[in-house]
Each structure stands twice: as C-alpha cells, then as structure tokens.
C-alpha cells in the first residue's frame, strides 16, 4: 500500500522528484505503509521524511489501484489525502541509498504548476484524479 498527500499553495502542488538510472519523474510526496502502520500516519510520516514539512490531513480524497496507466503498473492500492502544512520548511532531501531499487531514489521536492509539462503519463493521470476529487475548488 502507498499513502500520498496533496499539498496545494498558490495554484501549485508539491511534488517530489525521483531518479532512476537515466530517467527522473515527479510524484506526490508519500510512500509505503509499514506493517501494522495506520495509512494516515504513514502519509504524515512520509511527507516529513521526504520534504521536512509537518502536515495535518484534512481528508481522504480517493483510493486507486491496482491498474495500468500507459507503461506504468500501479500494483497496490494508493491512498491519496489532502493535507495542510502546519510546520517546518521545505527541504531538498536527496537520498541516493534509500528508496526502492526498481523505482529510484528521492532527489528533491518542488512546488510545481498543476498542469506542468514535466509530468509523465502516470503522474498526469494521478493529478487528473486529484483535480476531479477536489472539483477544482479554491483550495488550489
């Protein structure tokens, strides 16, 4: 299972960058739920680990997966929450030894425009689900 969080500010969404071999890609901050860990607690923990930001969760937006998007397979359910920053400062955390060897490692975070052209098909599809669940409200 993956827990991930949508954080919005001034029309931008916080994304984390992962690098693997000769490619880099952007995803929502989040990660694997540890055994016996609450999904919401995992979301809060992962955001802190990947960005240095303390957050609170406002609500669960949606659960998706397993499914295939283009050439990307989502193998386990992904719980996507809407969050709010309550402390900390955005840090550029690079973890070359961490992460999943098949998926790459964390190489930073950035506020990106919601419709950024740097996103791959799988990330654009996730953001389509985010936009639909938020109904493009003023929270963006």
Q: Is residue 103, in this structure, part of any structural domain at all?
A: yes
Average pLDDT over residues 86-96: 89
- Three-state DSSP class for residue 22: coil
Q: How many domains does the chain have?
A: 1
pLDDT at 138: 41
Q: Is residue 138, in this structure, part of any structural domain at all?
A: no
Q: Is residue 115, in this structure, part of any structural domain at all?
A: yes
Give the pLDDT confidence of 59-84 residue by residue, as tens digits: 999 999 778 877 777 788 999 999 99
Q: Is residue 98, in this structure, part of any structural domain at all?
A: yes
Average pLDDT over residues 96-119: 81
Q: Is residue 83, in this structure, part of any structural domain at all?
A: yes
Nearest CA-CA partner of 26 in 107, 81, 88: 107
What's 85's domain CATH number? 3.90.79.10
pLDDT at 54: 98
- Interatomic CA distance for residues 116 and 6, integer angstroms: 15
pLDDT at 73: 76
Q: Is residue 140, in this structure, part of any structural domain at all?
A: no
Q: Is residue 33, in this structure, part of any structural domain at all?
A: yes
Say if residue 92's pLDDT is above 60: yes
Residue 121 backbone class (left: φ over 0; alpha: ψ -120 to 50; beta: rest): alpha
Q: Is residue 139, in this structure, part of any structural domain at all?
A: no
Name the residue range of residue 64's domain: 2-132
pLDDT at 65: 79
pLDDT at 112: 97
Whether residue 111 contacts residue 13, with contact meaning beta carbons closer than 8 Å, is answered with yes
* Whether this model's pTM surpasses 0.95: no
């Amino acid at each position: 299972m993956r827990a991930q969080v949508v954080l919005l500010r001034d029309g931008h969404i916080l994304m984390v960058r992962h690098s693997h071999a000769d490619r880099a890609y952007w995803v929502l901050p989040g990660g694997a739920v540890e055994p016996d860990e609450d999904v919401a607690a995992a979301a809060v923990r992962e955001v802190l680990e990947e960005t240095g930001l303390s957050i609170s969760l406002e609500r669960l937006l949606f659960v998706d997966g397993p499914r295939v998007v283009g050439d990307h397979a989502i193998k386990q359910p992904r719980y996507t929450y809407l969050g709010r920053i309550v402390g900390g400062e955005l840090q550029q955390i690079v973890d070359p030894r961490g992460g999943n060897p098949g998926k790459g490692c964390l190489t930073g975070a950035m506020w990106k425009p919601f419709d950024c052209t740097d996103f791959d098909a799988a990330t654009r599809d996730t953001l389509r689900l985010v936009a639909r669940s938020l109904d493009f409200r003023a929270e963006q």
